[in-house]
A and B are shown apart, each in its own frame.
Chain A
Amino acid sequence: MSKENVLRVSDVTMQFGGVVAVNNFSMEVNKGEIVGLIGPNGAGKTTAFNCITGVYAPTNGQIEFNGEVIVSNHPHGKMKQMYKGENMGKYNKIIAPTPDKITKKGIARTFQNIRLFSSLSVFDNVLIAKHLHAKQNVFTATFRLNRKEEKRMREETMALLKEQGLDKFKDDVASSLPYGLQRRLEIARALATNPKLLLLDEPAAGMNPQESDELMGFIGEIRDKYDLSIFLIEHHMQLVMGICERIYVLDYGIKIAEGNPEQIQNNPRVIEAYLGVDE
């Protein structure tokens, strides 16, 4: 059975000046999968996310989403001499969209250190994420010629908040929510952009074991409910091993292992680089 491929990252290298944060990283996410990315601090996990979401244009490599090349780059300009990675010359196009374009295509994300619109209400936080797919323009929006669309956006927002159990807090200022709910709101906001692929950067960071247990169930639920594929970074081993079907391991920007949770747990290189240090 061949699986439908959603995300394919090929030979991505991200070099900042002389620092190679991600080195020749390749991976893929198939439809409906929950895939994990783990690695010690500073391994380059967030940087990999930033390459996929358009925050950085990778120095070299290519990223495809649903079969379409959305990001592609090769070392050029000053980087040509400085480049320390591999596969130079394999790619020759430069496609470097801004993050909003990537989100529009159907990849949404959350951040390692929560980034809510903190002084706006919970409701507005989610409603703002509905802006990108609206057909209105400034004129019709200002003069209320888009009543139907605005109403639909509000209804969808309300429905989403109800599903996420956040409707009680809809008028509260986002920053006043307890930490766990802020994380949940960030996920709700990402879902509001109608993604096909959801990237979660350490969703359980700062949560107690009970909260992260809940989160584990929750991630599975939203995958089924919204027909998503999920790619997540996480330090909580229990969570990663519990819900991820496949796992990639980064160390110093290099992929040192990939496989199912069992394979990863028994991989000597992973134990040495990561689990050995941690436990």
Chain B
Amino acid sequence: MSKQKKWLLSCIAIAAFLAIVYVLEATIPKSSQWSMLFTVLEKGSIYALVAVSMNLVNGFTGLFSLGQAGFMLIGAYAYAIFTIPVEQRAAVYQYFDGGLVQFTLPVIVSILIAGLVAAAFAFLIGLPVLRLKSDYLAIATLGFAEIIRAIFQWNTLGPITNGSNLLRKFYTYDSALYPIIACGICIAIIVLLINSSYGRAFKAIREDEIAAEAMGINLFKHKQMSFVISSFFAGVGGALLAMFQTTIQASAFKAAMTYEFLLIVVIGGMGSVTGSVIASYLFIACREWWLRFLDAETYIGDFKVPLLRAGFRNVVFAVIIMIIVLFYRKGIMGTNEFSWDALIRWFKNLPKNIKSIPGRIKNIPNKFKRKSKKEAQINE
């Protein structure tokens, strides 16, 4: 396939996808259970953006950073603070005399500010923290995120952050197309970055810091760049999440949230943007929609289906994740990316692959056996 043809195909696919979303949005009533589809599309897109931004640092630059929730929180708050209409501020900041900020900025500007504030924090934190190695970096970024969360709930800052109270009534979108397009553009920019000379430098650092440095790559400068850009997009993701949720509260941006993204990045494949995107949608779809029935007590006639009760969903979810991590060590995509050629090949090979499934299942025990033998050899 020629390059132009692929471009055309991609454009058509994107346009078709957006058109379908548009039509579905107009036809599916809010009360239908299918309206969950939009939750998945909106939240999935936002999660995809944050997961890809996390992958930029963790998967492409090889830094173990766990600050994503913190940067999202900063972005979400920056966005909310600047877009609450002036006349609503008295109600929102009821315990703080209507708050300190008494103006409203346009939505796009606020989203950019959300990203920039998160990036500025990342820059400052990066100065000391990025000189640390692997585990220490993870602990330091995690600690930072927790501190940020505490600071935003601090009453003294109430006139700005509303303390531990909700922020609400800020501008939100009215069509799933907005977050989808916004996240699409952001992810496209990250992909462009990854495929640029700087992206290659990031990968070089991931592969071998010492060799990268010997090739003239300034380690600190490039790590800082990757970290700041990643945080910018996490901030934008936070702003979009605020819009999706319509209200925000600092206490929701816990370390557990960062782990969700880490999980998505690992399941999708460290170093694969496609993987992170696919895994985000699957993750949100499973958690918010497909596995919901597991939480509901269900009767078939008089028979009460065993195990189904509140909380069971999380058990099944954990098992699924364990299976994925066991059988797809490198995630769904490894370090591969989407390409039309690969997609066509995949469909061509599909019948063959389906036929080989019984054989492969038979092989699973062997897989473990061989592995353990190899390990034994190494131990000798």
A-side interface residues toward B, CB under 8 Å? 53, 55, 98-101, 103-104, 108-109, 111, 115-120, 124, 127-134, 136, 138, 141-144, 146, 150, 153, 189, 193
Contacts and interface: CB of A to CB of B under 8 A. Distances in A.
Interface residues of B, number: 25
A117 B198 contact: no
Given A111-B210, A120-B200, A128-B204, 12 more contacts: A98-B213, A103-B213, A104-B216, A111-B214, A116-B207, A117-B204, A118-B207, A124-B203, A128-B212, A129-B215, A150-B197, A193-B215
Nearest to A103: B216
Contacts of A111: 210-211, 214
Interface stretch (B2-10, B91-99, B217-225, B236-244): B217-225
B201 interface: yes
Interface of B: 189, 192-193, 196-198, 200-201, 203-204, 207-208, 210-219, 225, 229, 335
Contact of A131 (B192, B214, B216, B219): B216
Nearest to B215: A129
B110 to A, nearest CB: 22
B214 A134 contact: no
Given A142-B193, A153-B197, A193 B207 contact: no
A192 to B, nearest CB: 8
A120 B203 CA distance: 8
A116 B216 contact: no
A103 B335 contact: no
Contacts of B204: 117, 120, 128
Nearest to A192: B215
A138 B198 contact: yes
Nearest to B193: A142
Contacts of B213: 98-100, 103
B192 A144 contact: yes
A127 B216 contact: no
9 contacts: A100-B215, A101-B218, A116-B207, A116-B208, A128-B200, A128-B204, A128-B217, A134-B197, A193-B215
A126 to B, nearest CB: 10
Nearest to B228: A138
Nearest to A140: B196
Contacts of A134: 197
Contacts of B203: 117, 120, 124, 128
